[in-house]
Amino acid sequence: MISRRTLLVLIAIFGVLYWLNIKGSSSFISDKIRVFVLTTKDNLVFTYQKHFNQAHLIEAYQRQLKAYENLKLAYANLSARSEALALELDDLQQLEKSKLEAASQESLVSEMPNSKVCPPSAEVTGPANLLPTPTFTSARIYGFASMDNPYRVLLDIHKPYPKDKILGMVAFNQVLGTIIQKDGRFVGLLHGDKQMSYSVVAKSGQKVYYGFVTNENFKTYMDFLPAYATLKVGDPIFTSGLDHIFSPNIYVGTVARIEDHYLYKKALLNIKRPQNMLFEAIVVAMP
């Protein structure tokens, strides 16, 4: 005969089984386990897809950013060429006007004996002819040229260039420095390196002033400004494109301080420097 304890145990077991709602091999617990497994699997798949989708999106955004930076550089160069063409057109109009005036003077004195009129002849070489179309290519900066000089970096450039050609280096929509070839490697000279120099233009209101970037004691200056230049602190500095290193209108920095040197002026530049050097830069090459 079944004891009361055994009966209570059986009732308890059936109660537990009833609570679990066993139907064949399924139960609330098995359902929860199955849901947990499926949820975990879905989360893992979602995380996996999210990671790689983000990687693809980041890669696509980086390509778009590079294209945008190249487009901005090309637009700046096109804007400078447009201004140069406008100046060249004005020169041609002035030349045509002078030829018409000379022709009218020749007609007036043609009847005079022993008179000769030599109309002015001039060949116009406009500013647009000084601004060839540049090329923009990406290059990886992979380290410093030497541990004791933080102003020289190494670039991985696969495109061949003449050994004596100086290239421009741009990153984050502003000038980073120039590039030379040394011992078979491409070496980038950053702002602060005493051997780095290129032509720039300062824009102050409606006035523009030309000069050269120089570096002294690891500080960058716009040198050889005319003594009459009326620059102000905060005026922007851009590449001029006249040295055939950079294309024109690439942002360099702003004027931080102006120094008078009797026959000329010199401006200390405020340049935003990158936090690290492990990134891709744009190589600017002028024909």
What are all long-range contacts of 121-127, with beta carbons under 8 Å and residues at least 24 apart? 122/95, 124/88, 124/91, 124/92, 124/95, 126/84, 126/85, 126/87, 126/88, 126/91, 126/92, 127/83, 127/84, 127/87, 127/88
pLDDT bucket at 37, cuts 50 / 70 / 90: low
Q: What is the mean pLDDT of the chain?
A: 78
Region 74-85 average pLDDT:
69
pLDDT at 134 over 80: yes
What pLDDT shows up at residue 7?
A: 73
Q: How far apart are CA 16 and CA 114, in angstroms?
A: 134
What pLDDT shows up at residue 128?
A: 47
Per-residue model confidence as pLDDT tens digits over 162-207: 999 999 999 988 999 999 999 889 999 999 999 999 999 999 988 9
For the ranges 94-98, 101-105, 244-248, 257-261, which has the lowest average pLDDT? 101-105
CB-based burial, 52-62: b 16+ in 10 Å, e otherwise = eeeeeeeeeee
Domain spans of the chain? 1-131, 133-287
CATH number 3.40.50.300 is the correct assignment for the domain at 133-287: no
pTM of the model: 0.63
DSSP 90-134: HHHHHHHHHHHHHHHHHHHHTTSTT------------GGGG-PPP
pLDDT bucket at 266, cuts 50 / 70 / 90: very high
Per-residue model confidence as pLDDT tens digits over 99-129: 666 666 666 545 555 544 444 444 444 444 5
pLDDT at 275 over 90: no
What pLDDT shows up at residue 239?
A: 95
Q: Which residue has the higher pLDDT, 90 or 137?
A: 137
Region 253-266 average pLDDT:
93
Region 236-247 average pLDDT:
92
What pLDDT shows up at residue 53?
A: 67
